[in-house]
Amino acid sequence: MTSKPGQESKSCGLVALVGRPNVGKSTLLNHVLRQKISITSRKPQTTRHKILGISSDEQYQAIYVDTPGLHSHSGKTLNRIMNETVGKVIADVDVIVLVVDRLIFNSADERVLSLVAQASSPVILVINKVDLLKDKAKLLPHIESLAARFEFAEILPLSALGGHNVDRLEAVVQQYLPQSPFLFPDDQVTDRSSRFLAAELIREKVTRQLGDELPYDVTVEIEKFASQGSTLHVHGLILVDKKGQKKILVGKDGDRLKRIGSSAREEMERAFESKVMLHLWVKVKSGWADDERALHSLGYLEPN
């Protein structure tokens, strides 16, 4: 097939970001894109959806796929769906970026490695958070140990949060992208809607505010997302599993919910470059994380 003029030197492909929970995949994606599309917190399993982040220049378009952290406890339907999402992504990409945390390589990391080893795509190993290492002399022996486990295309130490060596990762990824016309316009950054991002920003603030006080059984549904004049009006419904969780989330005299709303609104105004009027409610919906119909309506069950 003859390439169209201007397309003969273009490369484009899918790049999976995989790893166990809380190794910094979403932070890495946000830094590569130079803007925030994937929420982050110190709490594991913050990312629940498959999110595309699109990085384009004149010749290359890397479509990064941020995946939920792969974990061993998959009793609930939501957890099973997240694990299945990771498996589907790995089987359908051109490059795999496996992210690990400093000198740690535990059974959860081993499980992710065993999964990516079944794929035919090149695997780039990223050792994240190296800026937090107290003894840098331990890094080289660790790299040699990991290199003996699998034939990685390359092993890169970096700091996603600080941006150290992230440009090197981008350059290595580009080497493995197949020649192909771009799949997205070169100014598009994600496949997700602003409505989806609003829900995720609210959930991020809930997760950061409550930490270990609230379990994973919390999600957000946007009931209204509409511009009126120069103001964006957003109505968010926060779903929890139990009445006690609602009490924790709302806080005394509603103070905690107000703080969550204020923080989410400020982040939305930056993301959407608009004045935002945000209204939040909390509702108890028992068993939502184990209910396929509920998960489908909340957007967790996606088409293949």
Percent helix, strand and coil across the chain, each to the nearest 5: 40, 25, 40
Within-domain flag for 15: yes
Order of strands, sheet of 95-101, starting from the edge strand that comes earlier in the sequence: 51-56, 60-66, 11-18, 95-101, 123-128, 154-157
Within-domain flag for 268: yes
Residue 289 has pLDDT above 70, yes or no: no
pLDDT at 144 (0 to 100): 96
**pLDDT by residue (tens digit) across 63-104?**
998 876 565 555 555 555 555 666 677 878 999 999 999 999
On whether both 212 and 132 belong to a single domain, the answer is no
**pLDDT by residue (tens digit) across 36-53?**
777 554 544 444 456 789
β-strand partners of 155: 125
β-strand partners of 96: 16, 123
| 289 token code pair | 């994380």
**pLDDT by residue (tens digit) across 138-161?**
999 999 999 999 999 999 999 999
For 241, counting Cβ atoms within 10 Å of its Cβ (0-12 exposed, 13-18 middle, 19+ buried), the class is: buried
* Separation of alpha carbons 152 and 126, rounded Å: 10
Place of tokens 């419904």: 237
Structural domain boundaries enclosing 84: 11-175
CATH number, domain with residue 288: 3.30.300.20
* Separation of alpha carbons 86 and 84, rounded Å: 5
pLDDT at 207 (0 to 100): 84
Within-domain flag for 4: no
On whether both 213 and 241 belong to a single domain, the answer is yes
Q: Read off φ and ψ for residue 11, nearest 5 degrees.
A: -125, 140
What value does the mean pLDDT of the chain take? 84
Residues 13, 180: contact at Cβ < 8 Å?
A: yes
pLDDT at 68 (0 to 100): 65
Within-domain flag for 287: yes
Higher-scoring residue by pLDDT: 97, 304: 97
Q: Which of 122, 146, 175 is the last residue before a domain boundary?
A: 175
Whole-number percent of the chain with pLDDT over 90: 49
DSSP 271: H
CA 30-36-37 angle, 5° bins: 90
Residue 247 has pLDDT above 80, yes or no: yes
**pLDDT by residue (tens digit) across 204-238?**
888 888 876 665 567 888 999 999 999 999 999 99
β-strand partners of 127: 100, 157
Three-state SS for 46?
coil
Within-domain flag for 302: no
Within-domain flag for 53: yes
Report in angstroms the alpha-carbon separations of 161 from 29, 129, 130, 170, 256: 10, 8, 10, 15, 27
| 30 token code pair | 């946000």
pLDDT at 6 (0 to 100): 45
Within-domain flag for 135: yes
pLDDT at 208 (0 to 100): 83
On whether both 16 and 59 belong to a single domain, the answer is yes
Within-domain flag for 183: no
Chain centroid offset of residue 214 CA: 20
| 175 token code pair | 């080497």
pTM of the model: 0.73
* Separation of alpha carbons 196 and 294, rounded Å: 16
Q: DSSP letter string over 115-152?
A: HHTTSSS-EEEEEE-GGG-S-GGGHHHHHHHHHTTS--
Question: What is the rounded average pLDDT of the residues 4-28?
Answer: 82
On whether both 124 and 48 belong to a single domain, the answer is yes
Q: How many domains does the chain have?
A: 2
153-167, 198-212, 270-284: least confidently modelled range: 198-212
* Rounded CA Rg of the chain: 20
* Separation of alpha carbons 91 and 130, rounded Å: 29
Report in angstroms the alpha-carbon separations of 121 from 28, 48, 105, 152: 20, 24, 22, 10
Whose CA is closest to 224, among 261, 183, 277? 277
pLDDT at 76 (0 to 100): 58
Provide the pLDDT confidence category of residue 193 given band limits of 50, 70 and 90.
Answer: confident
pLDDT at 279 (0 to 100): 96
Residues 231, 276: contact at Cβ < 8 Å?
A: yes
pLDDT at 286 (0 to 100): 80
